[in-house]
Structure 1
Amino acid sequence: MGRGRQKAKATKQARDIKYYSPSTDYAALERELSGSSGHSAHHDADLEPDYSDYEDKYADQFDDDEDSRRIG
């Protein structure tokens, strides 16, 4: 394919992309933005695991006393 044909194809593709306007489902967008689908914003916060068991398990290894941080 020559440079002229290649440039024309690229121009046509750029024009198609520039003026492309997909059909938008505004009802679905409204449902998603209003949150009426039953999902709450705090739903993701419930997915974080509970690390309280590990806090107690390793608490004795790390002392928060100033004396233990002092260099000799």
Structure 2
Amino acid sequence: MGRGRAKAKQTKVARDLKYRTHETDFGALAKELHGEPDDVDPVDPVEEPDEWSGYAPDRSRD
């Protein structure tokens, strides 16, 4: 008992998703899926040294 109400709600939601018109921005979706940034900041960020860079061997003298 009680399953009828839950099933009716699921059916209502499924029909709403199936028949409702959607305004899909496929360009934004493609950018999100490919990992491209939305807006590129024109100011170059200041590069901070890596916290582990002091432990790496210095290869510039090779």
Higher fraction of helix:
1
Shorter-chain TM-score above 0.5? no
Which one has more relative contact order, counting CA pairs under 8 Å at least 6 apart? 2
